[in-house]
Amino acid sequence: VQPMCMATRATWLTGQTPRAHRVRCNGIPLDSRIPTMTEALRLAGYRTHCIGKIHVNPWMPHKDFDEKKLRPECWPEAIPLWRDGKIKSLPSPYYGFESAESMIGKKYGDYRTWRDQREPRAEELYRNPSENYQNVEMTPDATWKSSLPGELHPTGWAAECAEKFIASAGAAGHPFFLWCSIPDPH
């Protein structure tokens, strides 16, 4: 398996090597025309669902890209489109996932809605205390102790969502596939 996170996810979803699926490093989207195991399961009657960080499509094409040219249908995980409210949920199906509870970065998607309902000051509590620090998602080498309470961490959200999905899918009596992508540890 490839050590880069996007390439590894593409390998898990397709069963192909990075050479075959062409996601050789972060920032390269998985071509939606490549068959995925989740699409095969979905077509076979499984209920397919993803929770957490999907990240098989870049959060941003590259740093010099004009954000105004981003199209939601091409960049469904692009942070600027989520930030500006142009995307509110992932398309369905998404790489074979019939449905998804998403976390785009740690600031957007279903996780943010869940977190903000429980703590309206969550964004402020999560923020790095350094006044000069802005884009958490774009600077993975920056670390600090967050003031966000542990129960509001993405891992707790993902576990809660997974419990609900398993209970619901199990009660329905249909086969299901759940991809629960807890972002930390990464």
CA 186-182-159 angle, 5° bins = 150
Quick: pLDDT tens for 127-173: 766 655 555 454 555 667 778 898 899 999 999 999 999 999 988 88
Quick: pLDDT tens for 2-49: 578 899 999 999 999 999 999 998 889 999 999 999 999 999 999 999
Q: How far apart are CA 54 and CA 149, in angstroms?
A: 24
Quick: pLDDT tens for 66-100: 778 888 988 899 998 998 999 999 999 999 999 99
